């Protein structure tokens, strides 16, 4: 009798847990689908594999960027060894100093160094003057920037940026909007505004280096975007990679480090999603998870983390057919283990008394 009395409450409890799990699985999937998509649903980006491919194709800048972002020491070491090969580097450096144009980081860096020593500014002015004398096309912006380089010689933080702007112009990565703005300021003799632009460009160069900085300037169309770009590259890890993957949308993530890092691990799709939806793409910031976490006074953080892991698993691995199958199975088990209602037997009727026979 005692075993029966204990068995029924336990079966009630087990059936309730199974039924609640079925409802939670189905309801959780519906909630995640309606309020998503989420970064946690995306597979991590294969940084090391992509870095190895870039290295094999001799795309050394891309290989370095991917290997650094994905923490791939073997590929990173090999890419750095090829990047800094001494003899070829020296030859390209000499070409960069003489022509002002570099094919790789070494050539570009030496071209910029020549601009910082005035030699490059004089060289470019001379080349533009010779082209004008021959009736050939000249570049007013290069003339203006070279003049600014000479005028601002004694402001090193400005000179670095000015040299980077010239290099980007020669490489074709300076946007038309930014070039037009610079040319307008130079024609007006607005040296203070030119110095501000050059300072922001110098911040980009200091953080990324000359070769990568030249590429990054392609994502700034005006002075405001250049300032935003400088702030972004100073704060964000692998900024050029993020810019290549998602364009100027990545600049929106500069002030949310946790969101940016989570999006970066998911590759181009993760960055695009984060730029479009902001912090709502992180399950850890969802109101339902936070509310349930706060409901447990003693350990809200642990519960919120547990719910996030459960939601991540549900979102990534359970498609709708599997979700319905899991919920149906749990509901069926709840029905099987539920205690059966007791069947009440009708009370026994007393046997009718036999009729008395007359004497």
Each residue of 64-102: pLDDT tens digit? Answer: 999 999 999 999 999 888 877 765 565 566 666 555 555
Phi and psi (nearest 5°) for 201? -65, -35
Cα pseudo-dihedral 21, 27, 30, 35, rounded to 10: -110
193, 218 contact by CB (below 8 A): no
285, 279 contact by CB (below 8 A): yes
- pTM of this prediction? 0.69
User: Which residue in the block uniquely carries the two structure tokens 């919920």?
Assistant: 327
66, 50 contact by CB (below 8 A): yes
Write the pLDDT tens digit of every residue in 186-216: 889 888 898 899 899 989 988 887 778 888 9
Structure tokens at 115: 């601009």
Taking the C-alpha atoms of residue 280 and residue 147, their distance in angstroms, rounded to an integer, is 49
**Could you write out the DSSP letters of every residue in 109-124?**
HHHHHHHHTSHHHHHH
pLDDT higher for 126 or 114?
126
pLDDT higher for 56 or 211?
56
Alpha helices, H only, the chain: 2-35, 47-56, 60-70, 73-83, 86-99, 105-116, 119-133, 140-151, 156-171, 176-188, 191-208, 210-216, 223-235, 239-246, 257-264, 267-277, 287-295, 300-317, 320-337
Q: To the nearest whole number, what is the mean pLDDT of the chain?
A: 78
HSE (side-chain half, CA atoms, 13 Å) at 252 = 14
Whether residue 269 is preceded by a cis peptide bond, meaning omega within 30 degrees of 0, is no
| pLDDT at 24 (0 to 100) | 74
| pLDDT at 220 (0 to 100) | 94
Write the pLDDT tens digit of every residue in 284-301: 777 655 555 555 555 566
HSE (side-chain half, CA atoms, 13 Å) at 287 = 2
């Amino acid at each position: 009798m005692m075993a029966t009395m204990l068995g029924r409450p336990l079966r009630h409890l087990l059936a309730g847990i199974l039924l609640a799990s079925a409802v939670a699985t189905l309801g959780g999937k519906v909630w995640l689908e309606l309020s998503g998509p989420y970064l946690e649903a995306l597979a991590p980006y294969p940084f090391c594999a992509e870095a190895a491919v870039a290295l094999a194709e001799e795309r050394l800048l891309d290989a370095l960027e991917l290997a650094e972002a994905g923490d791939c020491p073997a590929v990173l070491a090999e890419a750095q060894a090829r990047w800094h090969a001494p003899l070829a580097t020296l030859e390209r450096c000499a070409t960069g100093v003489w022509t002002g144009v570099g094919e790789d980081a070494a050539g570009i860096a030496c071209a910029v160094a020549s601009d910082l020593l005035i030699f490059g500014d004089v060289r470019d002015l001379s080349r533009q003057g010779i082209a004008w004398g021959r009736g050939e096309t000249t570049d007013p912006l290069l003339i203006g920037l070279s003049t600014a380089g000479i005028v601002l010689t004694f402001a090193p933080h400005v000179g670095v940026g000015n040299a980077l702007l010239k290099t980007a112009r020669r490489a074709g990565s300076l946007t038309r909007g930014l070039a037009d703005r610079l040319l307008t300021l130079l024609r007006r003799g607005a040296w203070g505004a030119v110095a501000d632009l050059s300072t922001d460009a110098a911040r980009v160069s200091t953080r990324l280096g000359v070769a990568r900085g030249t590429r990054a300037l392609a994502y700034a169309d005006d002075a405001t975007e250049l300032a935003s770009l400088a702030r972004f590259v100073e704060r964000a890890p692998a900024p050029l990679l993020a810019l290549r993957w998602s364009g100027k949308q990545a600049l929106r993530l500069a002030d949310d480090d946790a969101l940016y890092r989570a999006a970066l691990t998911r590759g181009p799709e993760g960055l695009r999603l984060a730029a479009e939806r902001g912090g709502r793409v992180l399950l850890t910031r969802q109101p339902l998870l936070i509310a349930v976490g706060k409901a447990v006074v003693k350990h809200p953080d642990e519960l919120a983390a547990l719910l996030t892991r459960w939601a991540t698993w549900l979102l990534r691995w359970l498609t709708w057919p599997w979700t319905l199958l899991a919920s149906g199975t749990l509901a069926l088990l709840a029905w099987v283990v539920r205690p059966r209602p007791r069947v009440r037997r009708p009370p026994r009727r007393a046997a009718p008394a036999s009729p008395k026979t007359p004497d």
